[in-house]
């Protein structure tokens, strides 16, 4: 019986961690998993930069402007692409396909060790613990039993916000 209980607790914990990971990604407005992404951006002749949603960028597979690849561009830090001549103006006329993100602990191998900053992992653990302790409860009272639940989740705990704030997407 103990094994089955442990199995259920393990499953609940995994669900809590997955939910916390999603909450943190939503708050940061980006994904952290190392994978391929494809985005469309609107060009602006006054700007020489495109800001990608996900970073760190490992590689850019292609940058295409209506049917033709762009030859001259430079990948800068934090997911910025620089085009010296400026990007041609147009609504969602630039398509960028790229690989970006971190190797998550669950995806790590000997050849590709985890690269997710430990502070993000810690924030996820803190958030999962917080959700387990106070699942939406904003107030309690023992005499005549009264419990209030938050309607909107009231955001993230301040500790989690302080840990993840350097990783919030700045471009979107």
Averaged over successive runs of 10 residues, the pLDDT of the chain (172 residues) comes to: 64 89 94 96 86 94 84 88 88 94 94 96 92 66 63 71 91 58
Q: For residues 26 and 39, state if they share a domain.
A: no
Q: For residues 25 and 40, state if they share a domain.
A: no
Q: Which two tokens stand for residue 77?
A: 């830090």
Range of the domain at 83: 35-100
Q: For residues 72 and 22, state if they share a domain.
A: no
Query: What's the longest Cα–Cα distance across the chain?
Result: 71
Domain boundary among 78, 100, 122: 100
On whether the CB atoms of residues 50 and 86 are closer than 8 A, the answer is no
The reported pLDDT for the residue numbered 109 is 95
Domain boundary among 100, 116, 148: 100
Q: Total structural domains in the chain?
A: 2
Residue 172 located in a structural domain = no
Domain boundary among 100, 127, 155: 100
Q: For residues 48 and 68, state if they share a domain.
A: yes
């Amino acid at each position: 019986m103990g094994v089955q209980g442990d199995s259920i607790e393990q499953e609940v914990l995994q669900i809590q961690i997955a939910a916390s990971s999603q909450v943190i990604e939503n708050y940061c407005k980006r994904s952290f998993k190392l994978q391929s992404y494809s985005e469309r951006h609107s060009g602006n002749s006054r700007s020489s930069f495109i800001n990608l949603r996900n970073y760190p960028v490992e590689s850019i597979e292609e940058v295409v402007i209506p049917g033709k690849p762009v030859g001259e561009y430079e990948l800068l830090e934090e997911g910025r692409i620089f085009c010296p001549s400026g990007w041609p103006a147009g609504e969602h006329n630039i398509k960028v396909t790229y690989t970006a993100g971190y190797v998550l602990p669950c995806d790590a191998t000997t050849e590709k060790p985890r690269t997710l900053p430990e502070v993000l992992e810690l924030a996820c653990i803190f958030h999962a613990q917080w959700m387990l302790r106070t699942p939406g409860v904003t107030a309690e009272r023992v005499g005549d039993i009264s419990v209030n639940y938050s309607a909107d989740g009231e955001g993230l705990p301040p500790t989690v916000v302080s840990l993840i704030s350097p990783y919030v997407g700045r471009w979107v």
